[in-house]
Amino acid sequence: MTPVPRDLNAESLLAFWAEAGVDAMLLDEPFDRIEAGKFVPPKPPERIVAAPPPAQGAVRAGPDVAAAMAEAKRLAAAAPDLEALKAAIEAFDGCPLKFEGAARQSVFYRGATDAPLMVIGEGPGQEEDIQGAPFVGRAGQLLDKMFAAAGLTDRVFITNSVFWRPPGNRNPTVGEQMVCAPFLERAIELLAPRMLLLVGGPSAKSMLKREEGILSLRGRWFEWKSSDGAIELPAMPTLHPAFLLRQPGAKKKAWSDLLTLTERLNRPERP
């Protein structure tokens, strides 16, 4: 029997592959992967994935600002007194803060319902959300001390530019303030104060339609006008008591603002 000739090159190549861990052939025919890599396959068509339906019990999105303002204006106009206005605010679903920030309830007002001075802050905080009244936390306690020192304790009606707590105690947005504005205007109409004290930058900017910062606006007299032009009142912006707690050196400026306002409030009304 004639022996089969040996291919030493093939044996060496197989031994090299074995040492490298190759133990199987993937294809029967050779395949040039370098050349194949030069070919870019076309992109597959994009899949359009439908959005899942909202979960049961999920918070619905609020209406747009214009529609919410129209509904707020309708409800506010129908309120014959402050208690009815409070109930209308509680029932109103047009402000997203009711579903995003407030944990418990709306926060409308505290103070005298025949007060000559309306105090308008920015928005409720955590303590206000719990108690259902504005300015009842540390900042509110400082504000009360200032009013007492100025002789205004029983002469103020205190509210905010929005009636639900913003998430994380952030400042209310312009849209949130616009939605609540019809209720605030109706409160001014029902209370009929002699003047307004605008506490904090967001309140002053919203009520006066101005862009300057509170340090520029504070201590100056402005005229606030209702949206229909029927009501016009003197208004003074001042620093927020929360700012005063962080910057005690600014208390002198806020106290000066309050003294200026009180002096004008105490003047005899012209016939």
pLDDT digits (tens, 9 = 90+) for 214-257: 999 999 999 999 999 999 999 999 999 999 999 999 999 999 99
Q: Which CATH superfamily, name and number, covers 65-265?
A: Uracil-DNA glycosylase-like domain (3.40.470.10)
Mean pLDDT over the full length of the chain: 86
pLDDT over 90 percentage in the chain: 72
Rounded to the nearest angstrom, the gap between the alpha carbon of residue 225 and the centroid of all alpha carbons in its chain is 25
Distance between CA 141 and CA 162 in Å, rounded? 20
Q: Residue 208: which of 120, 94, 88, 114 has the closest Cα?
A: 120
How many other β-carbons are positioned within 10 Å of the β-carbon of residue 163? 29
Provide the sign of the torsion angle of the four alpha carbons 28, 30, 32, 36, taken in this order.
negative
Length of the chain counted residue by residue: 271
**pLDDT (tens digit, 9 = 90+) per residue, 77-90?**
999 999 999 999 99
Entry pTM: 0.76
Q: Which residues of 52-75 are buried (b: 16+ CB within 10 A; e: fewer)?
A: eeeeeeeeeebbebeebbebbbeb
pLDDT over 70 percentage in the chain: 77
Q: Which residues pair with 111 in a beta bridge?
A: 157
